Amino acid sequence: MPTDKDIQDRMTAAYASNGCACDGPERPDMSDPTMRQLFGDMFRGKQRWTSLLVMVFILALTFVMVVSVVMFFRTGEGETKGLILWATLFLTSGLFTGMLKMWFWMGMNRCMLVREVRRSEARLAAMQAGQSGSRPGGGIYT
């Protein structure tokens, strides 16, 4: 079974040997996006306000976590209820922060997947435009 690297090498070789007209400046970007680009993509498009709101909640819950740790260690020895309160607040805010970060990470993954699909579509369109002769019948070409 071919690995992802084998498939990528085959696609790159097929793209390079095609000799199509898009080998110039309009050639699709073959490099992977950086984390900064993926992070910035989350604040563009339809869900930019949701992403901004999630980021605000992450920062607020991180602040609550820090405050609850400080207050936990400042609570006196005989105040068991206070210790339980601050520990519960720390654990709950940590749990919610983790869930929101996972949502944000999955959104970044979605943006990366959309980018990869668009690059593949551009490669296929360029390959089809560069082909000469008749197309085979059936399949995706009809």
What lies within 8 Å, CB to CB, of 8 at 6+ separation is none
Say what the pLDDT of residue 25 is: 41
Whether pLDDT at 84 is above 80: yes
pLDDT in tens, 95-134: 999 999 999 999 889 888 888 888 888 888 888 877 755 5
Contact 126, 22 (CB under 8 A): yes
